[in-house]
Structure formats: structure tokens, C-alpha cells
Amino acid sequence: MIDSEKIASDFPILKRKINNNNLIYFDNAATSQKPIQVIESITNFYTSTNANIHRGVHTLSMEATNLYDRAKERVAEFINSTDSESIIFTRGTTESINLVAETWGRANLDENSEIVITELEHHSNIVPWQELIKETNSKLKYIPINNDGTLDLSNLDQIINSNTKLVSITHVSNGIGTINNIKNIIKQAKDVGAITLIDAAQSAPHMPIDVNDLECDFLAFSGHKLLAPTGIGVLYGNKKLLEEMPAYQKGGDMILEVTYQKSSWADVPFKFEAGTPNIAGAIGLKSAIEYLMNLSMAEIRNHEIEITEYAYEQMMNINGIEILGPENIDERAGLISFNIPGVHPHDLGTFLDSKGIAIRTGHHCAMPLIKKLGSHSSARASFYIYNTKKEIDKFITEINNSMKYFNHV
């Protein structure tokens, strides 16, 4: 079982006091905090091994290259990819999705093509496709949602059809926490010969991911949501597809040969990693993944089910509360988006901050989804390995206090 209080001791920032209160950090869907092990791995790189990779024969360069390459191997192990050459380091999920849109998408879509996404998507998995269909004259279709924020798959065989060339869907909604049954959707896509891309930004930090079992063609996630630094992300890709795709950015380190007349590209994955990469970020990501794997992703998921169920039950006792997303905890990740009667989400967030509690307020970069559910914004509490039931109790107390405060102002 996860010992959250012991784990919290590894996170220096959790010792902070905010407005004279112990910090309670419930904004993990936006970004997670970083354990000392990750911080030290980055510090050690800069203090003892800092050099550019792939370009030097001196000791520091070879050491840095080895650390970078080992980070890819650890990522491959984390998602059960059989080949680390299928791992591309990006700046995050957003860049990973844009990479696929700008390379595979431009090369393979035309006026007869359809892209399928869902009504649950983060803006990062909507906007690139909206822009791409303008240029390719293809069509964008949405899998709708039910009133409880789960996907309505009743007409899936009509939405995903012979015209579908790409299905790009979120594994877990960052807006309301819905966990999608992506295996069934991937199977439907494969049956019609469509390519699949999974946005795993909200699932990779919280539950086991197995790309071989999923049989997806692409999968993207961000390091900063799973204890790693900002500015480092992952795109896993089907190696055959990656080899067929054109290069994304051009420049140093992604080339095979350059003459004054023409250039040719290096093999996958280097073809997609132009310029000096985020070496320190990759090293931090490796350390973060090792930290999580040591805890066990299955145990992390069990902890989040327990703490989310506890929070959900306590919150349902708040008079008039509106909770967005599925009631079934097994269909919900470790986050709860909600609205409190008579209290604007931004006011609630400010009030909770005065008590040392950090939550997220707004549309959560899922504006169409929040509007579809009848709101303009919501408050969102999202949990992770260092959060406890004791923190939930404090959270509930202060929500009730906020209602008393704002309803008497």
C-alpha cells in the first residue's frame, strides 16, 4: 500500500507554509511536485556531467549521451515498448500531438479523410486537428458524451468508418476525470484501417500503461505531470510509421548528411529530435519514472481510487454541490471538478489558497467540454501519491467555511 505521508517527506516543496498554513497541493492534474531524487538527478548532471550529446568523443559528452539514452530505455520499459527507438523526446504532450499532426497528418490526409476525436479533449487534442483540416480539406468528427461525462459509444461504428484515417483520443479527461475505454475504440479504429493516437497526459502518471496491450500507433505524455521537470515529454510511435513520416523540425543532430545542395535525415528516433535536446529534463524524467516504478503503478492507481472515493463521498455531503463527471469511481481518475452554489470557482480558489490549499479553477483547457456540461468554469481538485485523507478532511472543512463566508458577505 502507498504510504502517502512517508512519500510526502521526499518532496521539499510540501514542507512549505502558504499563508501560515501547511501546503495542501491538489493541483496535480496541472503539474505534479518533484521529489528530492529527481531534483538531485538534475543537479548532479549539471554539476558533474554537463555536456552536449551525440557529438563528442570526450568523457563528459559520452557520459551525458549514455544518461540520455538510458532515459529512453527507461521510458520504453515504463510503457512496455519493446524498442527504445520508438521513443521520441518532445517538450510535452502538446508538442507530441502537433508533431503527429504536422508530419503524419499533412502527408496522409486529404478531402476524403476524416479525423475522429471526442468531446472530452484538452485543447491540445482539438486545436491542431482544427487547423490541419483547414489545410487538408479533411473533416473532424467528435465522439459525443453522455450527461455524466462518459463517452456515448452507441454509434461508434458510424462515427469511425471507412473514411476515418486517424482517431486521436484522450485516455483520461483532464477536465472531469473520465477514464475512457480506449481499447475498444482502438479496436474499432484498427478494424477500418485507421491510425490511433492516445493522449496519456493524465493516465501515464497514475496507472499502468502498456502500448503493446493497447496496440495504439502513437501515445503521448508529459514529464511534468509525473514528478519530472517541465519541458520534457514523450511521443511513442509505431516504428514503421515513424520511418515513413517526414521530419518535423530540421537542423543539427537530426541529419545524416548535408551538402550545399541537399540534406538527408538520420534514422528514427533522431530524425525527430533536431537541435540540442532537453538533456537534463530527460535525466529528470528517468529518475521520476524510477521513483514511480519503485512504488508500482498498480498501487498508485489503487491509492488514487481510495482517496478519490473518500473525497467524492465527503463532497457529496456538501449542500447543493455539483460534481462533473462519472459517479462510478472505477470510471474516474484521481480528480474531481465541481461547482459550489453561490461561490464562483475563482473566489473559492482564492479562499482555499488563503488556507494553504492549492486547487485549479477555470475551464482547464477544456472549454468546449465545460460549456457542453452547462458551466463556464469549475473548481478542480486533483490528487496524487503524496495526498492523504487528512488533507481531504481539511479541504472539505474549508469548502464549507467558504460557503458561510461568501453567502454572508
Take residue 395 and report the three cell numbers written for it: 479541504
Among candidate residues 206, 199, 197, the one with its CA nearest the CA of residue 225: 206
Helices and strands: H and E segment counts in the chain: 15, 17
Backbone angles phi, psi at 300, to 5 degrees: -60, -45
Q: Which residues contact 204 (CB under 8 A, 6 or more apart)?
A: 78, 79, 221, 225, 226
**What is the three-class DSSP state of 26?**
coil
216 catalytically annotated: no
CB 267 within 8 A of CB 286: no
Among candidate residues 338, 345, 354, 342, the one with its CA nearest the CA of residue 394: 354
**DSSP 8-state code for residue 119:** T
Q: Which residues contact 59 (CB under 8 A, 6 or more apart)?
A: none
Cα 77 to Cα 401: distance, rounded to the nearest angstrom: 46
Cα 225 to Cα 292: distance, rounded to the nearest angstrom: 12
Bond into 269 cis (ω within 30): yes
Q: Which of 39, 51, 247, 365 is catalytic?
A: 365
Take residue 38 and report the three cell numbers written for it: 529527481
The owner of cell 549521451 is 65
Could you tell me how far CA 388 lies from the centroid of its own chain? Answer: 22
CB 98 within 8 A of CB 206: no
The residues pairing with 323 across neighbouring beta strands, listed in sequence order, are: 338
Q: Exposed, middle or buried by CB within 10 Å (0-12, 13-18, 19+), for 328? A: exposed
The residues pairing with 382 across neighbouring beta strands, listed in sequence order, are: 27, 335
Take residue 34 and report the three cell numbers written for it: 518533484
Identify residue 152 by its one-letter amino acid code.
D
CA dist list (Å): 370 to 213, 348, 377 = 32, 18, 6
Query: Would you please indicate which residues are annotated as catalytic (active-site) residues?
Result: 365
